[in-house]
């Protein structure tokens, strides 16, 4: 089954990483894959553009089925291989609701990280304002408090949507990994960092760890002054 899957991906990409975690959790080891360089614009190559007109990664093909968005790819893998590997979406509707909520809330956390960590890169110099960066930092800190509160309510040793590792963890862990990678002060997100330390050695995550992080394991400290 894994041999029918082809994944085009890039390192230092939370969306790519979450699909790779899902593949490992569903025991689809040995899937075909091609690592592409964002810096070299390899994700805009003809091979990818034929499958994904946006020229974005991840791009995944399973047989004749093409799935490009990372959330969609993860959900597809769970649906297609439901009885295989880790069950990532529970049957209970109430439990499902929490998993789905945490999954899609991940977009908020990721966006807030980008607005602070990459402000100087995303915003042209002539459009940058100290007040805007300050507001972004305040919004980011509020978001961190929200996620810390979620884990506090769940109790020590819990995952993002309860006692079991679920799709919420698949899609959100890479984003939390970036918090650590970018040097977010632990006092700003103590429970998130506890969660990170608990989950980072999970086999699926170790097997899909970004190669650039293995080559350069030191933190980047972009968020150290948060």
All structural domains of the chain with their residue ranges: 2-80, 93-215
- Answer yes or no: pTM beyond 0.85: yes
Pairing between β-strand 5-9 and β-strand 32-35 as defined by DSSP bridges: parallel
Instruction: Print pLDDT tens along the chain (226 aa).
Output: 788 999 999 999 999 999 999 999 999 999 999 999 999 999 999 999 999 999 999 999 999 999 999 999 999 999 999 999 999 999 999 999 999 999 999 999 999 998 888 766 666 767 778 888 789 899 999 999 999 999 999 999 999 999 999 999 999 999 999 999 998 888 999 999 999 999 999 999 999 999 999 888 776 667 777 7
| Range 116-124 contact pairs with CB under 8 angstroms and sequence separation of 24 or more | 116/140, 116/223, 116/226, 117/178, 117/182, 117/222, 117/223, 118/222
Q: Classify domain 93-215 at the CATH topology level.
A: Glutathione S-transferase Yfyf (Class Pi); Chain A, domain 2 (1.20.1050)
Task: Give the burial string for 82-92 (b: 16+ CB within 10 Å, else e).
Answer: eeebbbbbbee
Pick the CATH number of 2-80 from 3.40.630.10, 3.40.30.10, 3.40.50.300, 3.90.550.10: 3.40.30.10
Specify the residue for token string 């006692």: 163
Structure tokens at 176: 């939390």
């Amino acid at each position: 089954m894994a041999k029918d899957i082809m994944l085009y991906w890039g390192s230092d990409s939370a969306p790519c990483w979450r699909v790779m975690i899902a593949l490992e959790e569903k025991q689809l080891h040995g899937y075909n894959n091609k690592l592409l360089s964002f810096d070299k614009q390899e994700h805009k190559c003809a091979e990818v553009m034929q499958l994904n007109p946006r020229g974005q990664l991840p791009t995944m093909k399973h047989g004749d089925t093409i799935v490009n968005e990372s959330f969609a790819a993860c959900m597809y893998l769970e649906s297609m291989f439901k009885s295989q590997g880790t069950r990532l979406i529970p049957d209970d509707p109430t439990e499902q609701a929490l998993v789905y909520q945490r999954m899609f809330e991940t977009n908020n956390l990721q966006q807030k990280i980008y607005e602070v960590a990459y402000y100087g890169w995303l915003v042209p110099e002539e459009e940058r304002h100290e007040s805007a960066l300050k507001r972004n930092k305040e919004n980011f800190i509020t978001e961190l408090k929200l996620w810390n509160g979620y884990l506090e309510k769940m109790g020590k040793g819990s995952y993002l949507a309860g006692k079991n590792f679920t799709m919420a963890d698949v899609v959100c862990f890479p984003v939390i990994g970036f918090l650590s990678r970018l040097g977010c002060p632990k006092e700003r997100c103590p429970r998130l960092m506890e969660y990170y330390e608990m989950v980072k050695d999970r086999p699926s995550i170790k097997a899909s760890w970004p190669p650039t992080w293995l080559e350069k394991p030191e933190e980047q400290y972009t968020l150290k002054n948060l």
